[in-house]
Structure 1
């Protein structure tokens, strides 16, 4: 791996640093704020690193918050051809090794949570801990009496989302995904117009996710080994399918800590940043005491 910025771009002082990291044929745009304990923030579908803007100022002062645009999103490039969950996990490994000095705590939202969990399962030596909010592990809904109808409904919606994107109707795709799959009917309150433009500009990346046969892959056996401390957060007001996924995942990870964020939905870092930052601080405190 090579840094487009000098090797001295690694985070060693209390400053804001930005740069570009080349990995796996992609160039990832990244930003790091503050110092000491390295925390890498991984955004979800359609989004980019700016989705964490409300969280970073609320973090403890000893945190180095490293965030980046996943490949193909906003200012990060991607090689020709389809990219999948394994590619995103490989990128995260590069971010950890090149920017965080070889170990980091991971925070993932939605699809970014799947990226973080795959990385923890495959490279526990690089991952100090993981906090994830509502990973959309839809295969867990199969054969679940409560979850199977929710999975079928979600599948129908995302199929239409992909069709809209392929037809060039990005705004329609974003609206359908946001309202019916991820955030609910009040999604526009979470995403002012400039942020909606980001979602529309990144809509094409969702096709890779949609067509990836491993896009919801989780190695539950590896994650249940207790080698990496895991906290799973879930909102009380998010889409039923994603909440059920999270409940079933927590059942499969008996060592994980589960925190419910009352009043929050699928994007607490946007709707309830104080509560989400506090949950992260509690998570880090538990890890440090263990």
Structure 2
């Protein structure tokens, strides 16, 4: 956070901070007539930091919010990845420390969704509801495994992350933060995460959790994610599975207005946003099976030319009061929006 003398547009431009500085704890205000605000816990994916939840932090000020740095990411990028169960226990420990009363609403994307389900399985008493999206649970194909391991040689390169940012539809400050964070990730940690996810990451004893679960997938995501729905429902018969039309993997950034609407409807009354489609009625596109947290490029290799990202409805920027992000001194070509892709 900046001090008073550092506040304002000029200070934001002059004072440089890194993508690893985004805070974990965001106190909220309790709605009128409610003694205490409920808690939302956001768990980020395997190639972004906790800053990626900023559009949700800005929209849910009536909740206490935790945006955790997962082990090996963000402020903890120097740490060694120690497995999914260890990461889940780490999340549970922070929840126990920060939440004095009631359970939390867990929200996870990609790797964060896998960890959210492990938290629910191992610490069900802490969880009131779960929403996961883009979360593969049943393993990756041999082709996907080979492609993703080939990309490990590139993760220290800025150009690689700038390319990925364009593929995800990120612009301006998002692109800078995504790149700044990505080059810090350690290949050995990413390889260890793949080793955990590739055989299938469905948690043991998931049936211990009896609360509500909503599992989503963007219609333009790899088909592997939707394949996981059957296995998830076998473990959790109460799980609801839906497809989000037109969306890619990182749709909390791609279309934050829609994501926030879907999430609020779910946590307010367990309801389903009208845009969500039953998987049986959806027509999945042919895509490469790419595990959580890995590159959009692998998917596009299989697809040829992916569909164009829908125009963003929310031209917001990251909140400078919560994060003083790095600004470029000159306008460079890489800050332009990613080239349009041919419609399928």
TM superposition score normalised by structure 1: 0.71
CA distance in 1, matches of 2:77, 2:100: 23
Task: Tell me the residue number matched to 1:218.
Answer: 202
1:40 aligns with 2:41: yes
Closer, same or farther in 2 for the Cα pair 1:213/1:109, shift >3 Å? Answer: closer
Q: Distance in 1 between matches of 2:162 and 2:249?
A: 15
Aligned residues: CA RMSD: 3.0
Worse overlay, 225-234 or 189-198: 189-198
1:14-93 → structure 2 map (5 Å cutoff): 30-35=24-29, 36-59=37-60, 61-76=61-76, 79=79, 81-93=80-92
> Contact 2:120–2:209 at 8 Å: present in 1 too?
no
1:256 CA displacement:
1.1
Q: Superposed, which structure 2 residues align to 1:116-135 within 5 Å?
A: 116-135=116-135
Deviations 1:76-120 (A, max 9, x none): 3655x5421112101111111001226311100100001000010
- TM-aligned CA deviation for residue 287 of structure 1: 4.2
SS at match of 1:53: helix
Are 1:270 and 2:270 an aligned pair?
A: no
**Superposition pairs of residues 158-197 of structure 1, within 5 angstroms:** 158-165=148-155, 169-171=156-158, 174=161, 178=164, 186-187=167-168, 189=170, 191-197=174-180
Distance change >3 Å, CA 247–CA 264, structure 1 → 2: farther
Q: Distance in 1 between matches of 2:46 and 2:65?
A: 20
Alpha-carbon distance change, 264 to 247 in structure 1, aligned in 2, over 3 angstroms: farther
Q: List structure 1 segments (4+ residues) > 6 angstroms apart after TM superposition.
A: none
CA distance, structure 1, for counterparts of residue 231 and residue 248 of structure 2: 17
User: Aligned-pair distance for 1:203?
Assistant: 4.7
| Cα distance in 1 for residues equivalent to 2:231 and 2:255 | 24
Report the more deviating stretch, 233-242 or 272-281. 233-242
Q: Say whether 1:206 aligns with 2:190.
A: yes
Corresponding residue pairs, total: 239
132 and 31 in structure 1: CA distance in 2 versus 1, 3 angstrom threshold: same
> Mind listing any 5+ residue stretches in structure 1 that lack a counterpart?
1-27, 142-150, 180-184
From 259, 263, 268, the equivalent of 1:285 is 268
Measure how far apart 1:29 and its partner are.
6.1
Comparing both chains, which one has the higher relative contact order based on Cα–Cα distances under 8 Å and sequence gaps of 6 or more?
2
Q: Which runs of 5+ in 2 are unaligned?
A: 1-21, 30-36, 272-344
Cα distance in 2, alignment partners of residues 215 and 30 from structure 1: 31
Greater CA radius of gyration, 1 or 2? 2
CA distance in 1, matches of 2:183, 2:199: 21
Question: 1:261 and 1:37, CA in 2 relative to 1: closer, same or farther beyond 3 A?
Answer: same
Q: Is the 8 A contact 2:41 2:65 kept in 1?
A: yes
State which drifts further: 93-102 or 235-244: 235-244
The question of whether the paired residues in 2 share the 8 Å contact of 1:107 and 1:116 is answered with: yes
Which structure's residues are more often strand, by fraction? 1
2:16 aligned residue: none
Distance 1:274 1:250 in 2: 28
Is 1:245 equivalent to 2:228 in the alignment?
yes
Name the structure with the higher helix share. Answer: 1
Report if aligned partners of 2:69, 2:75 keep a CA contact under 8 Å in 1. yes
1:237/1:264 contact within 8 Å kept: yes
Contact 2:55 2:253 in 1 (8 A): yes
Task: Find the counterpart in structure 1 of residue 217 from structure 2.
Answer: 234
Where 1:54 maps in the other structure, the secondary structure is helix
